[in-house]
């Protein structure tokens, strides 16, 4: 989080503060992977293969 060297008790973080900041970012969704929705109709070949 702050680019300081990590400390053994908090590895891979330097302190409890940085570990808590990272956890808060995960919980609020700051690290979510963006997804592009594909609204196009699927190919008929793909539908046929999925039904098999």
pLDDT tens-place string over residues 1-46: 688 888 888 899 999 999 999 999 999 988 888 888 887 666 655 5
Asked, as a colleague might, if the bond just before 12 is cis with ω within 30 of 0, I would say yes
Q: What is the pLDDT of residue 43?
A: 63
pLDDT at 52 exceeding the cut of 80: no
CA distances, 12 to each of 1, 15, 17, 22 (Å):
10, 9, 12, 11
The answer to whether the predicted template modeling score (pTM) of the entire model surpasses 0.75 is: no
CB-CB contact of 4 with 14 (8 Å): yes
Which pLDDT does position 41 carry in this prediction? 62
Q: Which residues contact 14 (CB under 8 A, 6 or more apart)?
A: 1, 2, 4, 5, 6, 7
């Amino acid at each position: 989080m702050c680019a300081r060297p990590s400390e053994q008790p908090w590895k891979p973080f330097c302190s409890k503060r940085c570990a808590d900041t990272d956890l808060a970012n995960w919980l609020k969704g700051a690290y979510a992977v963006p997804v592009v929705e594909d609204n196009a109709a699927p190919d008929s070949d793909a539908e046929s293969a999925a039904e098999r």
